[in-house]
Amino acid sequence: MQSEKSDESVVQAYADLHSAPEPPLLHQLWRETHLQLMMPRMASGYGQGRLLSMLSHLLRPRRVLEIGTFTGYAALCLAEGLAPDGLLHTIEINPERERRIRRYVAAAGLTERIKLHIGAAVEVLPGLVDETWDLVFIDADKANNQLYFDLLIDQVRPGGLVLVDNVLWNNKVLPDYQAPPADHDTHAVRAFNAAMTREPRVVPLLLPLRDGLLLLRRV
């Protein structure tokens, strides 16, 4: 097992060396997140962040929705590929994080292009029903993945992309995972992943990147 982990580390280091570097502002945010916040691994981080940026650049979205801002790392990455008239809506439930998010959005020069909503997603989303989403990133409470999907999927344009984070859930969703009985979140993530393989409105692709990233292309 130790050898396998070492091999993965070597492969990741090689991949990082041959990928675009992390922008300095994002590196600063990543470091600050790890020094000052509980559960800093909730931030997307370098590898996943560069993928979010790449997908955004490919789609050139006019409207992006993020559910679960945390410190704003993913939002800044997703905003990198916005169309000239693009706008990103991001929803964060914890008001204690608002000041930090706004500070980094301002430092990135994106105050007019990233709209932060503080509150529960189920309460904010009804106010955004007139939007058509090109790109969506769901990274909030895992038990509600299906609820968020159901609330927004009909607003995603054909060819648009929905991304769902943490779909491996520390590998707890795997059938041979050796651990105590699965908790509520594990059951919810497992059920959501299975449901997406049967969902006619999307084409799924689950990437074993970090804690698992599910890509859903709207048909």
- The predicted-structure confidence for 81-132, as pLDDT tens digits, reads as follows 999 999 999 999 999 999 999 999 999 999 999 999 999 999 999 999 999 9
Q: Residue 180 above 90 pLDDT?
A: no
Average pLDDT over residues 157-162: 98
The mean per-residue pLDDT over the stretch 175-196 comes to 86
DSSP 121: H
pLDDT at position 2, please?
A: 57
| SS3 track for 128-174 | HCCCCEEEEEECCCHHHHHHHHHHHHHHEEEEEEEEEECCCCCCCCC
The radius of gyration of the chain from alpha carbons, rounded to an integer in Å, stands at 17
| pLDDT tens by residue, 43-58 | 999 999 999 999 999 9
Going by pLDDT thresholds of 50, 70 and 90, the confidence category of residue 171 is very high
Q: Which of 59, 58, 55 is nearest to 165 (CA)?
A: 55
Per-residue tokens: 49: 């962040």
Question: What does the alpha-carbon distance between residue 211 and residue 164 come to, in Å, rounded to a whole number?
Answer: 11
Sorted by where each begins, the domain ranges of the chain are 2-218
- Give the global pTM: 0.94
Please report the pLDDT score of residue 176 as a whole number. Answer: 80
pLDDT band at 138 (very low <50, low <70, confident <90, very high): very high
* Distance of alpha carbon 159 from alpha carbon 218, whole angstroms: 5
pLDDT for 76-90, tens place per residue? 999 999 999 999 999
Contact between 105 and 114 (Cβ < 8 Å): yes
Beta carbons within 8 Å of 97's beta carbon, 6+ residues apart: 69, 70, 71
Inform me whether the pLDDT recorded for 182 exceeds 70. no
Which string of DSSP letters, residue by residue, matches 51-79? HHHHHHHHH--SEEEEE--TTSHHHHHHH
State pLDDT tens for residues 1-12: 556 667 788 998
- Fold type of domain 2-218: Rossmann fold (3.40.50)
